[in-house]
């Protein structure tokens, strides 16, 4: 009998697992492939925590795997922080996904059973507010229950440390070790909800978060001037952003904000969209229809846990187009630096932080305006880590952080990407251009005219299951071990293998090819989905030429990749 079958039988016969669990598993008793997929491994607690399909089994996210992850975290806290960690406690937030509240309560009950205070919210809250709450409450750690923009069948579990940022590899690996030591689910302690170590938070912390976000306003004058004129449409895409985003825009002075009613309320099925991702134009279809009728100037959409934001604006032909994360990030870099020069000039080594797969346009804007730019690995936790490092060393001042996947942070109230402060500053930026008689799209063209035209693209290949994991690894192995001298007849100047460690960054399974003309390609497996991702970038003064080069590079990489997959 295979190991996965033994695990399945254990869950079916052990009295620890409840009747609901056994009924769900009984329904798949004749489906060997499904049993294998659910039980061939433990759902891995990686450096980003847990993320998986909801369901019963060791390779699914459910109340048992959440208890296991929490027990591992508890043991790490007790080992590292002892009684002080128990008293400081852990704060937990959750989003609108299936089982999010249940998983929050299960985590709280395991924390309390280990003598660790657990702070929970009475309803859903955004990820940036969780990040803020950790430091505001002085907690030793934080947990957020979310699967971000994944499809509705997913949920997840992310851990934050006392600095308010997601745990980085050094801490994450030690927590992983503790989680992996937990083999017997029935030995995981849990308690009842009435336990006095479980504390429900009041509304004061919501107000404190909004007040900190409002402190990031750069030009209140322009909001006062046109805040009642500029037309804004906002969609929370059925998630946590509805209350905080609308509240902060209202308090800032934006008086003409319309919400997409069909997507306003929490909905675990995200029933109006196929995929609740603000990177996809399809999520804005209802909002764009509304905008065409009202003549809205800008559309904003935040993902379910409200840490990322998508932006739709009118182009020069009057059509509504989605700006990508690199474009919005570059616009924000330009706006934040150029409208805050006096304050920034008085800072110690002002610095923006971006990831290695993000456009170089923001870096160019920063450096030409006397602001430094440094790169981190993909994942906003590494940007949050830099904020903490700057504060400890007192050698740099954090101006802004961003990544191409629609995540931005201005301010240090949170240590993760923040869709609330981003929404506020994007609207302020739109108001600034509105006051000049320009759209945000025209503002972007002005940036291109000044700094050069930059274009990026991303292609993801989804490869699910055990075979998919092998294919992803084989593709990475091919590009890592083959000698590739040219791509699209452009010489490869440099190959950066981040698995070997580069520029003092943690080792990571990422490859980056730098071409002779300044174009680049980065390849990495996704840390949260069964995908391998190909990132592309090119730049120059001639838009037509840049577009042409980028398309040729992508086509050449597709040919190589298809050959590799065919050979597997």
What distances in angstroms separate CA 194 from CA 105, 116, 118, one per listed residue? 11, 14, 12
Asked if 82 and 16 sit in the same domain, the reply is no
Greatest alpha-carbon span in the chain: 73
pLDDT of residue 49: 86
> Is 245 found in the same domain as 268?
yes
**Model confidence at 444: pLDDT above 70:** yes
pLDDT given for residue 568 in this prediction: 64
**Structural tokens at position 320:** 């509504």
**Domain final position from 451, 467, 490:** 451
Q: Domain tally for the chain? A: 4
Which pLDDT score is estimated for 567? 73
Whether 96 is catalytic? no
> For position 194, what pLDDT does the model report?
82
Residue 219 falls inside a structural domain? no
The 10s digit of each residue's pLDDT in 229-243 is 999 999 999 999 999
- Tell me: do 422 and 282 sit in the same domain: yes
Same domain? For 301 and 402 the reply is yes
- For 116, the 3-state DSSP assignment is coil
Q: Are residues 411 and 383 in the same domain?
A: yes
Same domain, 314 and 441: yes
| Residues 6 or more apart whose Cβ sits within 8 Å of residue 233 | 257, 258, 259, 260, 287, 290, 291, 294, 296, 298, 299, 300
Assess whether pLDDT exceeds 70 at residue 1: no
97 neighbors 149 (Cβ within 8 angstroms): no
Structure-token match 């009642």, residue found: 228
Is residue 220 situated within a structural domain? no
Q: Is the pLDDT of residue 48 over 90?
A: no
Helix, strand, coil fractions of the chain, as percent rounded to 5: 45, 20, 35
The residue segments making up the domain with residue 544 are: 453-567
**Do the domain assignments include residue 210?**
no
Q: Is the pLDDT of residue 82 over 80?
A: yes
- Report residue 398's pLDDT band, with 50, 70 and 90 as the boundaries: very high
HSE, side-chain direction, 13 A CA sphere, residue 98 = 15
213: in domain: no
Q: Which of 416, 413, 352, 357 is nearest to 385 (CA)?
A: 416
Q: In this predicted structure, which of 39-48, 71-80, 125-134, 289-298 has the lowest mean pLDDT?
A: 39-48
Q: Percentage of residues in the chain with pLDDT exceeding 70?
A: 99
Q: Which range among 146-150, 296-300, 537-541 shows the weakest confidence by mean pLDDT?
A: 146-150
**Inter-axis angle of helices 127-137 and 204-214, nearest 10:** 100
pLDDT in tens, 143-182: 999 999 889 999 999 999 999 999 988 899 999 999 999 9
Same domain, 307 and 418: yes
Q: Are residues 438 and 486 in the same domain?
A: no
Same domain, 25 and 131: no
State pLDDT tens for residues 468-509.
888 899 999 999 999 999 999 999 999 999 999 888 888 899
Residue 212 lies in a domain: no
- Of the residues 148, 330, 488, 508, only one is catalytic, namely 148
Q: In angstroms, rounded to a whole number, what is the distance separating the alpha carbons of residues 206 and 474?
A: 47
Q: How many CA atoms lie within 13 A of 206 on its CB side?
A: 19
Q: Are residues 98 and 20 in the same domain?
A: no
- How far is Cα 45 from Cα 176, in angstroms, rounded to an integer? 6
Q: Identify whether residues 321 and 255 lie together within a single domain.
A: yes
Does residue 166 share a domain with residue 86?
Answer: yes
Residue 273's domain is classified under what CATH number? 3.40.120.10
Specify the CATH number for the domain of residue 502: 3.30.310.50
| pLDDT, tens digit, 9 for 90 and up, residues 4-33 | 999 999 999 999 999 999 999 999 999 999
Question: What does pTM read for this prediction?
Answer: 0.94
Q: Considering the domain boundaries, does residue 300 fall inside one?
A: yes
Any domain includes 170: yes
């Amino acid at each position: 009998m295979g190991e996965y079958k033994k695990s399945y039988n254990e869950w079916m016969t052990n009295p620890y697992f409840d009747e609901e669990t056994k009924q769900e598993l009984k329904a798949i008793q004749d489906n060997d492939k499904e049993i294998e997929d659910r039980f061939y491994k433990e759902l891995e607690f990686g450096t980003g925590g847990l993320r998986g399909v909801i369901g019963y089994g060791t390779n699914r996210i459910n109340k048992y795997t959440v208890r296991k992850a929490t027990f591992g975290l508890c043991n790490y806290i007790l080992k590292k922080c002892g009684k002080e960690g128990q008293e400081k406690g852990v704060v937990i937030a959750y989003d609108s996904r299936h089982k999010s509240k249940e998983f929050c309560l299960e985590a709280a009950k395991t924390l309390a059973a280990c003598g660790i205070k657990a702070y929970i919210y009475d309803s859903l809250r955004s990820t940036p507010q969780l990040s803020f709450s950790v430091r505001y409450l002085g907690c030793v750690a934080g947990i957020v229950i979310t699967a971000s923009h994944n499809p509705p069948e997913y949920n997840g579990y992310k851990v934050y440390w006392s600095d308010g940022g997601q745990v980085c590899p050094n801490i994450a690996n030690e927590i992983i070790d503790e989680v992996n030591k937990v083999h017997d689910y029935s030995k995981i302690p849990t308690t009842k909800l009435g336990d006095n170590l479980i504390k429900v938070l009041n509304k004061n912390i919501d107000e404190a978060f909004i007040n900190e976000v409002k402190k990031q306003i750069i030009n209140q004058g322009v909001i006062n001037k046109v805040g009642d004129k500029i037309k804004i449409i906002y969609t929370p895409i059925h998630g946590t952003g509805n209350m905080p985003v609308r509240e902060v825009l209202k308090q800032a002075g934006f008086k003409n904000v319309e919400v997409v009613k069909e997507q306003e309320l929490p909905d675990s099925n995200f029933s109006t969209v196929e995929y609740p991702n603000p990177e996809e134009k399809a999520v804005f279809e209802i909002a764009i229809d509304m905008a065409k009728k009202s003549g809205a100037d800008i559309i904003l959409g935040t993902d379910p846990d409200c840490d990322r934001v998508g932006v739709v604006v009118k182009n020069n032909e009057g059509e509504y187009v989605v700006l990508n994360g690199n474009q919005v990030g570059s616009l924000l870099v330009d706006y934040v630096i150029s409208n805050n020069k006096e304050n920034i000039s008085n800072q110690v080594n002002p610095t923006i932080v971006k990831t290695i797969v993000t456009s170089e346009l923001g870096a160019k804007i920063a450096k030409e305006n006397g602001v430094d730019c440094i790169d981190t690995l993909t994942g906003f936790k590494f940007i949050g880590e830099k904020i903490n490092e700057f504060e400890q060393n007192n050698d740099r001042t954090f101006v802004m952080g961003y990544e191409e996947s629609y995540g931005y942070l201005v301010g240090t109230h949170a240590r993760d990407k923040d869709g609330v402060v981003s929404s506020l500053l994007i609207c302020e930026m739109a108001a600034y251009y509105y006051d000049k008689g320009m759209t945000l799209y025209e503002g972007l063209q002005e940036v291109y005219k000044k700094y050069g035209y930059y274009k990026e693209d991303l292609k993801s290949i989804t490869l699910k299951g055990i075979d998919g994991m092998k294919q992803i690894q084989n593709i990475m192995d091919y590009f890592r071990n083959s000698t590739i001298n040219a791509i699209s007849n452009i010489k490869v100047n440099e190959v950066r293998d981040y698995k070997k460690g580069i520029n003092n960054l943690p080792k990571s399974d990422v490859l980056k090819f730098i071409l002779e003309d300044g174009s680049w390609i980065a390849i990495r497996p996704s840390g949260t989905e069964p995908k391998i991702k190909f990132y592309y970038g090119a730049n120059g003064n001639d838009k037509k030429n840049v577009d042409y080069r980028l398309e040729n590079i992508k086509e050449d990489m597709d040919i190589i990749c298809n050959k590799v997959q065919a050979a597997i």
